[in-house]
Amino acid sequence: MIVIVHGPMASGKTFHKQAFAKLFCCSHIVDDWQPTIHETPDDGRLVLTNYAMDEIHRALRLDRPDAAIRIIDIKTARAAIGFEPYAPGRTERATL
């Protein structure tokens, strides 16, 4: 399975990447994935991106339509590892 964590820049994706990889049982981390440029990573990867959901879905449909993929927003991922939904200094006004 490929796990994709998405959210705005400076929301804690890279800072918490090791904890996310452990939580979601991912053996490799792909940071700053750009679905309009990069191919969809292989199974067992934690993928971090700040791209919008529509771009992520479009790339997945084209590149790996049959892949097992779990997409998680940064607020949910941060909560799953015991942190507040927003990075320090960020507010709810930060859009996903």
**Locate tokens 């960020």: which residue?**
90
Which of the pair, 80 or 63, is modelled with greater confidence? Answer: 80
pLDDT tens profile 17-33: 999 999 999 999 999 99
| Per-domain residue ranges of the chain | 2-80
The pLDDT assigned to 71 comes to 95
Per cent of the chain over pLDDT 90 is 74
Q: How many whole angstroms separate alpha carbon 79 and alpha carbon 75? A: 6
Mean pLDDT confidence for 51-73 = 91
Residue 35's φ and ψ, nearest 5 degrees, are -65, -20
pTM (two decimals): 0.87
Which of the pair, 63 or 23, is modelled with greater confidence? Answer: 23
CB-count burial class (<10 Å; 0-12, 13-18, 19+) for 27:
exposed
